[in-house]
Amino acid sequence: MIKKKVIGFMVLGALTGVGMFNNVPASAKSTAHIVYNRALNGSGDSRDVNLTAKNGIYSKPGILKGARVIVSKSKARTLKESNRDNNNFRAYRVIKTSQGTYYYKVVSFDSQYRGWIYGGKSRTGFYGGVTPFTTIKNVSTKSPLTADGKTTYRMPNSLAGNTDNTFFFQEPRYTQYKVGRKADANHKVITSLTKYKDASFTLVRAIQTTRAGDIWYQIAASNQDINGAWIPGNQISSADAVSDSANSGTTGSSTSTTTTTSTSTSNAAASSAALQVATTAGRMDYFNGNSLNESYSSHSDLQTAYSQGYSAAKSDGAKARTDAIADAKNGSALNKSYSNDLGVQRVYESMYNNLETARNQGVQDAKNGKINNVSYSLDADLQAAYQTGFNSVAAGNNIYQLNISFTVDGVD
């Protein structure tokens, strides 16, 4: 005799731990509890936030007993309006409560403040005590030096003997969480400037930090240790430009005239190293989820290189997504060596893992006697993966579907 399961809306029990659903017994509805506690995915840029001063930061989410104040609302207001870049914040975990509210775990970029803050009643963005924030911006005032990828510079003589690296950074300081001094070609942090005193470079891009307004320049160099590094604008000037005679390395006769003009000319093309840095910046912006920056550079060749990098990354990402879908459908294992490009690999792995999660959720829902969730995801491929998982169990158990849809946590 074929067994038929009648699916109703009566709550049969409570699921424990972290899950996509949490059914609560009627007797416990008045008690708030955590439905899930998850790490936030996505690029760091997409998780940078500022405080709104509507809520403070606590050692535990507000619904839990024993939470102590880490940052009061008054202090939050001070941090919100701070002109110091170390007071930028990043969100890295989220919980949802049985009351439908969200809390984010945040940390300041100098790690001085860390804790939980109320995040509103929606996961479509940052609300409540936090709001999206961008840590850098295009230079709002004319920068002292022109980032054209042409003029050649060297590190100031005053820094050449420093055994402490205060000049070459991976990103402008305190604009990315836990990203500091530049790593060399062997992936070791540059701690001393001595070996780079004669290294030449060009300026590719100028930006300002949002809070402090400090100007930073990204550089291009033939020395791969420092290629793509960011340098503080207050530590370099036109006096550090390399003259033609110094750049050529030639010595004339005693009657020759020394030329001291810059190696740049207004009609010269940006160096190949500068173009490569711009191209890489375009790729990074795409893979970090940023929009195409049409104001990346005022110099057409650098802007073109940036845009080409962005477009190429978009194409590579689309192919990685398609390949991940094919591998998941065919039952192939996750290809951890899909691409040498970290951005492309991340797109592939993210899509593959999301498909597996969707499929497994469909399987679990069917096993638990839940209704087929036709609104699991707005992404058609993820919805299809969920449906595949659900149907693989439902067909065997002969579950009759009522086709009632509802929103899943994480998509609302």
Please give the Cα distance from 85 to 173 (Å, whole number).
8
52, 80 contact by CB (below 8 A):
yes
Pairing relationship of beta strands 48-51 and 89-97 according to DSSP bridges: antiparallel
CA 281 to centroid of chain Cα atoms: 13
Domain limits of the chain? Answer: 1-12+333-412, 32-133, 135-251, 270-315
Query: What does residue 216 show for φ and ψ, rounded to 5 degrees?
Result: -130, 150
Amino acid at 95: I
DSSP assignment of 128-171 equals TTEEE--SEEE-SS--SS---S-SEEE--GGGTT-SS--S-BSS
CATH architecture of 32-133: Roll (2.30)
What's the pTM value of the predicted model, to 2 decimals?
0.76
Tokens coding 5: 């399961």
Tokens coding 84: 């110091």
Tens of pLDDT, residue by residue over 214-269, are: 999 999 999 999 999 999 999 999 999 997 544 444 333 333 333 334 444 455 67
Amino acid at 204: V
User: CB within 8 A of 208, min separation 6: which ones?
Assistant: 136, 137, 138, 139, 140, 214, 215, 216
Please give the Cα distance from 367 to 346 (Å, whole number).
31
First to last CA, the chain: 40
211, 82 contact by CB (below 8 A):
yes
Looking at the DSSP bridge assignments, the partners of residue 130 are 51
Q: For residue 12, what are the CA distances in angstroms to 7, 25, 404? A: 11, 8, 18
92, 178 contact by CB (below 8 A):
no
Tokens coding 407: 């929103």
Write out the chain's pLDDT in tens, 412 residues: 434 333 333 333 333 333 333 333 333 344 778 999 999 988 899 999 999 999 999 999 988 889 999 999 999 999 999 999 999 999 999 999 999 999 999 999 999 999 999 999 998 899 999 999 999 998 877 789 999 999 999 999 999 888 899 999 999 999 999 999 999 999 999 999 999 999 999 999 999 999 999 999 999 999 999 999 999 999 999 999 997 544 444 333 333 333 334 444 455 678 899 999 999 999 999 998 889 999 999 899 999 999 999 999 999 999 999 999 999 999 999 999 999 999 999 999 999 999 999 999 999 999 999 999 998 999 999 999 999 999 999 776 654 444 444 444 444 3
